[in-house]
Amino acid sequence: LTQAASRLLDLGGDAAVTLRAVGQAAGVSHNAPYKHFENRLALLASVAMADAEELAGAVRRIRASDMSPRERLMETLMTVARFGREHPSRYRLLFEDPAIAALEGPMKQAAMATFAEFAEVVRDCQTANALPAMPHAALTGLIFASLHGLISLSGSGRMQPGKGLIGVNPSIELLLDVLAPAAPR
Amino acid sequence: LTQAASRLLDLGGDAAVTLRAVGQAAGVSHNAPYKHFENRLALLASVAMADAEELAGAVRRIRASDMSPRERLMETLMTVARFGREHPSRYRLLFEDPAIAALEGPMKQAAMATFAEFAEVVRDCQTANALPAMPHAALTGLIFASLHGLISLSGSGRMQPGKGLIGVNPSIELLLDVLAPAAPR
DNA sequence: ACCTGAACACCGTTCAAGT
DNA sequence: ACCTGAACACCGTTCAAGT
């Protein structure tokens, strides 16, 4: 049921996720979802939660790998960027939807857990002097916001029209190049 | 009519901008808008265009002021951030709505003109050695994306929950501090 | 415990007219 | 040239039942 909504979101965006279409895709009536979710938003939240947990798991695996801290950071950023590229509507739901962000409870917990994984990747870089020794929360926020801005602008088609703007991945590399020299050697 | 839609957007977000509400606010019937706009999206696009032109004008005035290039950049960034803070739904429409971004014609022209003003502010900083001498388009894209990411995350309430994340304005200052030292003296 | 079908209020859009 | 009112298809949500 959550899976059906997720697929519809990928295929046709937010507007395609009608309870009738979700019901039909899951082989039930158009208001069977109301027996499992409070309303449409709660159903979408379950999609967002699954994605938040998937991302958190991916970052956790990267953290446990034997790459250098800096490589782990790059891999983490690329993983989020790939998710945004391959699932733009689901990315939008998870990171841009105001109604989802306003939810308390498990959705908020999942979002914070995902962010915490991300923050640890940044912290490891700082410990290894691969990122500057500025306040950890500020640096994490700046990197995450820059990443999100690149994915968001690019995902909604606002990075091409300009005069030779570079893509998401090169921009991420540029950001890290600009941050790295500020770190003590 | 465009003004009525803009006000409704500010007051109740995208969902509040129904053709019936717009018509009523403008004192006409619920489908009078169809005589002036092709459909609902075209009406929203006219709101976005007005905002794009307003922002472009604001940046143009900042460019013509007697501040230093670096101060003009900071003022420009703060102006966009303020617009995002005071009109989150209109900001979302202008910079995050995929349907608006997909429009060709005058909307695209207005968006590109606004971005061009922004790019000139960055270029002036590079000329004055207040920003590093990297490729101009890449640097402009990175700064704009970072700014957008901060406004986007903060505007949808995703910057507080974390563990002591700093606000939009301090993050912008941090970004410029991190970029500035890379510039030759 | 889980599902269905009818019904309601609301919305974007279309169309035939009205001045 | 600009507007109105009725109508249509669609949607989220509710409710009374069904097994």
pLDDT tens sequence across A81-99: 999 999 999 999 999 999 9
Return d(Cα B128, Cα B145) in angstroms, integer. Answer: 22
Show Cβ contacts of residue B166 under 8 Å, excluding neighbours closer than 6 positions: A135, A137, A138, A141, B174
Confidence of residue A185 (pLDDT cuts 50, 70, 90): very low
Residue A183, pLDDT score: 59
Task: Quick: pLDDT tens for A26-37.
Answer: 999 999 999 999
- In this prediction, residue B183 carries a pLDDT of 59
Task: Give the pTM.
Answer: 0.94
Q: Which of residues 2-41 of B touch strand C (CB under 7 A)?
A: 17-21, 30-31, 34, 39-41
B99 CA, C19 C1': Å apart: 37
Task: Check residue A156 and give its pLDDT.
Answer: 87
Chain B contact for A172, CB < 8 A?
A: no
CA B31 to centroid of chain Cα atoms:
30
- B146 CB within 8 Å of a chain A CB: yes
- pLDDT band at residue B165 under the 50/70/90 scheme: confident
Q: B138-163 pLDDT, tens per residue?
A: 999 999 999 999 999 999 888 876 66
| Nearest-CB residue to A152 (from B112, B148, B175) | B148
User: Gap from A32 CA to C15 C1', in Å?
Assistant: 36
Instruction: Calculate how close chain B gets to A144, using CA atoms only, in Å.
Output: 8
Residue B185 has pLDDT above 50, yes or no: no
Of the candidates A142, A166, A182, the beta carbon closest to that of B137 is on A166
Torsion of CA B141, B143, B146, B152, to 10 degrees: -80
Protein contacts on strand C: list nucleotides below 7 Å from a Cβ: 2-6, 10-15
Give me chain A's average pLDDT, please: 93
pLDDT over 70 (residue A164): no
Burial class (CB in 10 A: 0-12, 13-18, 19+), A155: buried
For B84-97, write each residue's pLDDT tens digit: 999 999 999 999 99
